[in-house]
Amino acid sequence: MSLIELKDLSKEYTYGESSTYALKNVNLKIYGGDMIAIMGPSGAGKSTLLNILGCLDKHSSGTYILKGKNINDFSKKELSKIRNREIGFIFQNFALIPEYTVGENLELPLLYKNNFSIKKDKLNKEQRMKLIEKALKNVLISNLIDKKPSYLSGGQQQRVAIARALIANPDIILADEPTGALDQKTGQEIMNLLKEINKQGKTIIIVTHDSNIASYCDKTINVIDGIVKN
């Protein structure tokens, strides 16, 4: 069974009288363990597709099935829970909270997860610290736990963001231009890390307009003017 299935999915934006399709009749299947690149020119609909896959945005028509369940049937609260449990996000600009240390940035998804958990499943401080240490070790920056993001290089900040995406142990990692703000060598290091995480069993979907980045993936999906070709 596919992990993700889109059937005739469209996203329409309306501006007063007129409207435009950011995505049109997308049909797509993604399987557990896939590492997929989404490529296409600027304005093609890549981010729209990724945001819909991540339940950050809702489609206008068609069907999105995630792990056998129709997303249309979920309330806003249930969608928040799915985002927290099933999906980790990585952005081009890292999106770390500047006032928080690395450790505190990583603790946030765990505190958020506690909100959705029944009492016996809530993680206490010690359990949270263990998970934070493990996540930082996995991305090779254990020594940076008490530093604030501004102290770190771009590559180190993206490692923190990757650790944050993984900490609640989601099956799916979505990355929008994860190397877009990094130099080429650092970008390659980040892609090697994502490849390693894919080998650990995570399904990874990466938006990029760089074919070198796409070459780390097993499959490329092309988006042009809202039409997906795969």
Under the rule (CB under 6 A), what is the footprint of ligand ADP?
A: 13, 22, 40, 42-48
22 binds, among ligand ADP, Mg ion, none (CB under 5 to 8 A by kind): ligand ADP
Is residue 54 within 8 A of residue 6, CB to CB? The reply is no
- Which residue minimizes CB distance to Mg ion? 47
In what side-by-side order are the strands of the sheet with 18-30? 18-30, 4-15, 61-66, 69-70
48 binds, among Mg ion, ligand ADP, none (CB under 5 to 8 A by kind): ligand ADP
178 binds, among ligand ADP, Mg ion, none (CB under 5 to 8 A by kind): none
Binding flag, residue 47, Mg ion (CB under 5 A): yes
- Count the helices and strands in the chain (H runs, E runs): 7, 10
Binding flag, residue 156, Mg ion (CB under 5 A): no
Q: Is residue 186 exposed (0-12), middle (13-18) or buried (19+ Cβ within 10 Å)?
A: middle
Q: 1-40 mask for Mg ion (x: CB under 5 A)?
A: ----------------------------------------
Residue 136 structure tokens: 């930082």
Nearer to Mg ion, 47 or 105 (CB): 47
Binding flag, residue 48, Mg ion (CB under 5 A): no
Integer Cα distance of 121 and 85 in angstroms: 13
- CA angle at residue 172 from 149 to 142, to 5 degrees? 35
* Residue 182 Ramachandran class (φ > 0 left, ψ -120 to 50 alpha, else beta): beta
Residue 209 structure tokens: 């307009």
- Collapsed DSSP state (helix, strand, coil) of residue 206: strand
Is residue 26 within 8 A of residue 5, CB to CB? The reply is no
40 binds, among Mg ion, ligand ADP, none (CB under 5 to 8 A by kind): ligand ADP
168 binds, among ligand ADP, Mg ion, none (CB under 5 to 8 A by kind): none
Q: How far is the CB of 101 from ligand ADP (least distance, A)?
A: 31
Nearer to ligand ADP, 97 or 224 (CB): 224
Q: Which residues bind Mg ion (CB under 5 A)?
A: 47
